[in-house]
Amino acid sequence: MLGTLISSQPVHIYGAGIAGLILAYRLKKSHVPFTLYEKNRVGGKIATTLTPLGPAEAAASTLYMNISAEKFITDLNIPYLISTPKLKRRIWKEDGPHSVFSLKLLSKGITKIGKKFPLIMEDSTVEEIFYPFLGQELIDELLSSALQGIHGAEAKDLHFLSIFPMAKNKHFKNYLHFFKELKKSISSQKGTIKGSISFPGGMQTLINALYEEVKENIKPVPENFSLTPNTVICTDALDAAELLKDEAPEIAKELQKIEYRPITSFTFFRESEIPELHECFGMLIPQKFKKNLLGVIHQSALFPENYKSHCYNSVNKGILNKEEAILELESVFPKFDPEKIKESKLTQWKRGLPLFNYHRYQAIQNIERKLKKRPGLMLFGNYTKGISIRSMIEDGQTVLNRLNND
């Protein structure tokens, strides 16, 4: 999150997506008075359509766990499903699916792990930092594929310090040193639940549980928005800019610099399994092959308790219709038969994922400086710090910690 709140004053939250709901729930549990304003639907992008064959997700389908997320879910006291362990991960190449971990990667790691780590510049991209270690081929096939599965963008488009904030103001002797520090920062946050979770009935179960906790404090957005002390804007960056254009134009201008990548999510159910994804978590498609398809997640392998049929979710860059999404699948699965799809759900997001590039990083730095002059105004969402639900859970706790320390 960006900005600060004033202790001992009510909080006004605009936006009841996952960020707003998480913050509202944290405030309620700490007995901080608040009002949560929403003009559309509660839950934002996170929505589940329940079909006779299982849940179809519109956006996020899992919550990757750490100790903060574990404490949050335990406190919320809702049942959850732990993802199937040790599922295989696949990378697509022109001759079909391959294991993520190849001999080429192993030999690269052994020979280059002691190589001097590059000097991190403020505007360094992930590709620039990892090029001496991996080379272009492995960056395109492996690193970019992994990153696009999370951020919807390749290594060349992602800002290194935004993706690896633990590296800020640090000097690493070599790549081994970097990976040890990265592992240390991740390990310090590990809980007892490994991997990711979902919920019986899908991610909507989480939204419903949070809604039940805070529903008495939800109101429609007033026709004329005005900044009051302790305003928290939990929308995307561009909607936040629209809200602030009159009362905080200097902040609105910076928010408008944040880019979003359009994403199409296509969930489909089949009676028969896609053979290439047997016992697989899913498959990533490197963008060097010039496809819209970013990857396919095998939902029913991850959470079999939720499904009565084989369920997959394909994630595509851009805005696609159903026929175009199916064509993308046929281009990577030669024997894919559209007639075997029993049910499907397509969701288009014009503002799918915020792009964590250097322009965003600069905008966030500028906003932080401007907000220091505006105590009582806060911005909270997946464009501010981290893109995941887990990051928002952590940020919600940070807000409370700061309030309690004031």
Distance between CA 337 and CA 326 in Å, rounded? 9
Question: Per the domain annotation, does 108 fall within a domain?
Answer: yes
Q: What is the pLDDT of residue 174?
A: 96
Q: What is the pLDDT of residue 8?
A: 81
- Would 174 be classed as within a structural domain? yes
Instruction: Give yes or no for residue 163 having a pLDDT over 90.
Output: yes
pLDDT tens per residue across span 282-331:
999 999 899 999 999 999 999 999 999 999 999 999 999 999 999 999 99
Q: Are residues 254 and 273 in the same domain?
A: no
Which has the closest alpha carbon to 280: 304, 303, 295, 302? 302
The structure tokens listed for 41 are 């639907």
Tell me, yes or no, whether 253 and 264 share the same domain. Answer: no
Q: Is 235 helix (H, G, I), strand (E, B) or coil?
A: coil
Assigned domain for 64 exists: yes
Distance CA 322, CA 178 (A): 43
Question: Residue type at 381?
Answer: G
Least confident range from 146-150, 173-177, 362-366: namely 146-150
Q: Is residue 95 part of a domain?
A: no
For residues 276 and 290, state if they share a domain.
yes
With 70 as the cut, is the pLDDT of residue 60 above it?
yes
Same-domain pairing of 173 and 251: no
Q: What is the DSSP letter of 308?
A: S
Task: Provide the pLDDT for residue 104.
Answer: 65
User: What CATH number should be reported for the domain holding residue 285?
Assistant: 3.90.660.20
pLDDT at 386 over 80: yes
How confident is the model at residue 316, as a pLDDT? Answer: 96
Is residue 87 in a domain?
no
Beta carbons within 10 angstroms of residue 346's beta carbon: 20
In a domain, 85, yes or no: no
- Partnered with residue 89 across adjacent β-strands are 282
Q: Is 303 in the same domain as 159?
A: no
Distances (CA, A) of 161 to 126, 165, 172, 385: 8, 5, 14, 11
Q: How confident is the model at residue 188 (pLDDT cuts 50, 70, 90)?
A: confident
Q: Give residue 292's region: left, alpha or beta (phi > 0; psi -120 to 50).
A: alpha
Task: Give the residue-averaged pLDDT of 209-229.
Answer: 93
What confidence tens digit (pLDDT) does each residue in 332-345 have? 999 999 999 999 99
pLDDT in tens, 80-89: 999 999 999 9
pLDDT at 106 over 70: no
User: Integer distance in angstroms from the first to the last C-alpha of the chain?
Assistant: 17
Q: For the domain that residue 163 is a member of, what is the CATH number?
A: 1.10.3110
Say how far apart CA 140 and CA 276 lie, in whole Å.
22
Model confidence, pTM? 0.93
H or E element that contains 72: helix 67-76
124 and 161 in a single domain? The answer is: yes
Q: Tell whether 88 is covered by a domain.
A: no
- Which CATH number characterizes residue 394's domain? 3.50.50.60
For residue 252, give its domain range: 2-49+57-80+198-259+356-405
Categorize the per-residue pLDDT at 96 as very low, low, confident or very high, splitting at 50, 70 and 90. Answer: confident
The last residue of a domain, from among 336, 354, 372: 354
| 103: pLDDT strictly greater than 70 | no
Q: What is the pLDDT of residue 40?
A: 86
> Last residue of some domain: 332, 354, 376?
354
Mean pLDDT taken over the chain: 93
What confidence score (pLDDT) does residue 108 get? 66
Structure tokens at 142: 């492996």
pLDDT above 70: percentage of residues in the chain: 98
Write out the DSSP string of 23-34: HHHHHHHTT--E
Q: Which amino acid, 202?
A: G
The answer to whether 13 and 379 have CB atoms below 8 angstroms apart is no
- Residue 102 pLDDT greater than 70, yes or no: no
Burial (Cβ within 10 Å: 0-12, 13-18, ≥19) of residue 209: middle
In a shared domain, residues 370 and 223: yes
Same domain, residue pair 139 and 72? no
Q: How far apart are CA 300 and CA 189, in angstroms?
A: 28
Q: Are residues 210 and 69 in the same domain?
A: yes
Of 229-238, 380-389, 392-401, minimum mean pLDDT range: 392-401
Question: Is the per-residue pLDDT at 144 higher than 90?
Answer: yes
Task: Give per-residue pLDDT as tens, 235-273.
Answer: 999 999 999 999 999 999 999 999 999 999 999 999 999
Are 264 and 341 within one domain? yes
166 and 203 share a domain?
A: no
Instruction: Please name the residues in contact with 9: beta carbons below 8 A apart, sequence gap of 6 or more.
Output: 229, 230, 376
- Flag whether 295 is in a domain: yes
pLDDT for residue 405: 66
To the nearest 10°, the Cα dihedral for 242, 244, 245, 251? -110
Question: Where is average pLDDT lowest: 3-12, 64-73, 95-104, 117-126?
Answer: 95-104
At which of 187, 214, 242 does a domain end?
A: 187
pLDDT band at 105 (very low <50, low <70, confident <90, very high): low
- What is the total count of domains within the chain? 3
Same domain, 203 and 65: yes
Report how far residue 274's alpha carbon sits from residue 295's, in angstroms, rounded to the nearest whole number: 14
